[in-house]
Chains A and B, each alone.
Chain A
């Protein structure tokens, strides 16, 4: 991970998954966990989820919405979308280089 995500430390990867999950609409905690498991296969535990959510909220990348009973949905902010786009771009660059280099390795 690069850039602003560096500050997130061990929560960088979960944060990326959470931002990705919220990019198609607001979700509450358990819905994020099931969505992340569905699209990435990563089984995120509640401690990790809320550790990352609290950091994302503090940075203004996600925003809590009004709670319905004990469930509080979160939505991604414009700043969050921006940082997610940056991260995706970085990852695409990594994927491109990796593909290139592994292809070269096979040829060699």
Chain B
């Protein structure tokens, strides 16, 4: 029996005990189940316990019930339970076939890391057909897949590697306990009362705060007790048109905490990154909004010291801001035209290319990161082309000064199709997977 199914059936069977029994033992038994690796034996023991408790006169409470009715119900339950045990796995499999596919043909969307524990979680596809996979990447060249959970993009992993935040089929943020990464256990679903699309999730560097972003709102959750997160603050982050006018390409909320955990940066709407002071998350407030020069900001990253923010726009412009005064970020570098210098699947750039329009999809996918010493800014561009879907990766490296100016760029190409490249922290490795593939590969940056 699948561990996930056994866990769900076990929790269901706890609820099948008499009310008085549940009031007395229910919570502690659920706590035990949170820590216990449920198997078919667990289900059988709980079923026997439920039947036994239902027959136990000590737990009879309802004065109105007729003894015959009770007996009939108990017999029916006793007959139905074994049948359910047989039919439930079949039903579960059918449900999976209908609604949740393990993203067999979805490429890697993103990856979340817990560098100290060597655990990585990858997201393939969206909630309705997505899968998150838990990996041991102590050695990234020899990854070991540990488990697979229902989820998709977005996904985040707590710095201690014990909690995965991802998206449930319902569209709600959901937390999984991966303290035993081979046997993830679903902990709780976060209810924020907002029905719009869940866009992004991020843990603070100390793991105490989880930020969840929807279309135009950001929610900050206290994660002191990961099984029972507490909503601390809701931030309004309205989606706006680009400064130069034009339609909104699509909604996007990207979230990144600064390395010190005092600033949360969100790509709110189309052309801005908003900085929030989250030193006291219950009283978080907006510090500043950084303009994207009229272009949608698609990826961004803090420098290791948190004094710089680098952003990549939809049409291939790199922007660097100094956060020496986070209330008044100062742009220190602007480099345009990366898209036309990045190579296509054919291996050639198209310098004369003019992006068609603000709403045109399929220009490129980007990954942005600083080196751990903060001296180099790296942007990886994967050109998209409808005929080939995904092209080679082009890597741009700039030396960065402490004040945020960029030196002379060096560019290199790798003959890999990554769809959405992801730069792993620390060891300068790029992860990605070609379209139509469930597999991902890793290659070192030059």
In the complex, the answer to whether B36 meets A71 with C-beta atoms within 8 Å is no
B21, B27, B42: the one within 8 Å of A70 (CB): B27
Would you call B373 an interface residue if the criterion is a C-beta within 8 Å of the partner chain's C-beta atoms? no
CA distance A67 to B32 in the complex (A): 13
Q: How many residues of B contact A (CB 8 A)?
A: 26
Would you call B23 an interface residue if the criterion is a C-beta within 8 Å of the partner chain's C-beta atoms? no
Residues of B within 8 A of A47 (CB): 13, 42, 44-50
* A interface with B by C-beta (< 8 Å): 28-30, 33, 43, 45-51, 53-54, 58, 67, 69-72
**Secondary structure at chain B's binding surface: helix, strand, loop or mixed?**
helix
Q: How many A-B residue pairs have CB under 8 A?
A: 64
Would you call B33 an interface residue if the criterion is a C-beta within 8 Å of the partner chain's C-beta atoms? yes
In the complex, the answer to whether B21 meets A54 with C-beta atoms within 8 Å is yes
Known: A45-B42, A58-B58. A29 touches B32 (CB 8 A): yes
CA distance A48 to B13 in the complex (A): 13
CA distance A86 to B378 in the complex (A): 74
Known: A54-B21, A58-B58. A48 touches B31 (CB 8 A): no
CA distance A46 to B46 in the complex (A): 7
Residues of B within 8 A of A72 (CB): 28
Residues of A within 8 A of B44 (CB): 45, 47
* B interface with A by C-beta (< 8 Å): 10, 13, 21, 24-25, 27-33, 35-36, 41-42, 44-50, 52-53, 58
In the complex, the answer to whether B28 meets A29 with C-beta atoms within 8 Å is yes
Q: Supply 20 further A-B pairs (C-beta < 8 A) apart from A50-B25, A70-B31, A71-B31.
A: A28-B31, A29-B29, A30-B36, A33-B36, A45-B45, A46-B32, A46-B33, A47-B46, A47-B48, A47-B49, A47-B50, A48-B48, A50-B28, A50-B49, A51-B49, A51-B53, A54-B25, A58-B58, A67-B27, A71-B28
Q: Identify the interface centre among A30, A46, A50, A67: most chain B CB within 10 Å of its CB.
A: A46
A75 CB to closest chain B CB (Å) equals: 15
CA distance A28 to B25 in the complex (A): 12
Residues of A within 8 A of B52 (CB): 51
Q: Which 9 A-B residue pairs are closest in the complex by CB-CB distance?
A: A47-B45, A47-B49, A45-B45, A70-B31, A47-B46, A29-B32, A70-B27, A30-B32, A30-B35
